[in-house]
């Protein structure tokens, strides 16, 4: 006999899996801005943010963590100096922390149109992860005479800024179409 709680958990699990799958498929349709990484997708981040908005931070972080592992499988780039520390920092900063932070959108789910607050905050923290990674790990790619922090800022800011604009535009479109699609479902 299925209880209401287990039915709700099954519904949340199914929805999370579908949203992760949609985001992952969309991440294959990307426009690469730079030769060494940094691409823009057609609103793939929105679907990860939706998990937290609709199901709360626990489901959001779980779904975003699963997505981070898929992203790592899809596009892992080994660091230029393959030391164990650099390898660990790439895994953490460029993948696990950077993408899992999107699940914290769940803390904005109780707000009216919470996605409009969650998207800039979560993507800004994701940018901070890539920015730090650019300084700590990828500095060998910086052209001579350019400050490392400035290169990391422009490199990572260029694609993350566009990604945020696309994500916000898609969120506005969804909210205009149906406000319940980006509302808490608990």
Split at pLDDT 50, 70, 90, the class of 3 is low
Here the tokens at position 148 are 């490392």
pLDDT of residue 7: 64
**Over pLDDT 90: what percentage of the chain?**
73
pLDDT of residue 30: 86
Give the DSSP letter of residue 143.
Answer: P
Contact 16, 63 (CB under 8 A): yes
Contact 48, 27 (CB under 8 A): no
Q: What is the 3-state secondary structure (H, E, C) of 88-126?
A: HHHHHHHHHHHHHHHHHHHHHCCCCCCHHHHHHHHHHHH
pLDDT of residue 78: 80
**In this predicted model, what pLDDT tens digit does every residue of 89-139 receive, in sequence order?**
999 999 999 999 999 999 999 999 999 999 999 999 999 999 999 999 988
Kindly give, in sequence order, each residue whose CB lies less than 8 Å from that of residue 57, ignoring residues fewer than 6 positions away: 103, 104, 105, 106, 107
Give the residue among 97, 42, 95 at the shortest CA–CA distance from 72. Answer: 95
**For the chain, domain boundaries:** 4-182
pTM, rounded to two decimals: 0.90
Contact 47, 23 (CB under 8 A): yes
Check whether 1 has a pLDDT greater than 50.
no
Give the residue among 62, 22, 63 at the shortest CA–CA distance from 42. Answer: 22
**In this predicted model, what pLDDT tens digit does every residue of 32-79 receive, in sequence order?**
776 666 789 999 999 999 999 999 999 999 999 999 999 999 988 888
Here the tokens at position 103 are 């699940």
Split at pLDDT 50, 70, 90, the class of 141 is confident
Fold of 4-182: Arp2/3 complex 21 kDa subunit ARPC3 (1.10.1760)
pLDDT of residue 64: 98
Give the mean model confidence (pLDDT) for residues 173-186.
85
């Amino acid at each position: 006999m299925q209880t209401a709680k287990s039915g709700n958990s099954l519904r949340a699990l199914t929805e999370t899996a579908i949203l992760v799958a949609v985001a992952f498929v969309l991440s294959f349709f990307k426009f690469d801005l730079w030769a060494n990484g940094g691409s823009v997708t057609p609103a793939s981040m929105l679907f990860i943010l939706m998990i937290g908005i609709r199901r709360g931070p626990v489901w959001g972080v779980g779904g975003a963590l699963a997505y981070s592992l898929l992203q790592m499988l899809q596009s892992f780039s080994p660091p230029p100096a393959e030391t164990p520390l650099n390898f660990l920092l790439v895994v953490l900063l460029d993948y696990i922390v950077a993408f899992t932070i999107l699940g914290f959108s769940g803390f904005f789910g109780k707000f009216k149109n919470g996605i409009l607050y969650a998207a800039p905050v979560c993507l800004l923290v994701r940018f901070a992860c890539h920015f730090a990674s650019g300084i700590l790990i990828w500095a060998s790619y910086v052209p001579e005479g350019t400050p490392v922090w400035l290169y990391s800022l422009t490199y990572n800011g260029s694609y993350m800024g566009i990604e945020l604009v696309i994500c916000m535009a898609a969120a506005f479109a969804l909210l205009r179409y149906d406000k319940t699609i980006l509302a808490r479902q608990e």
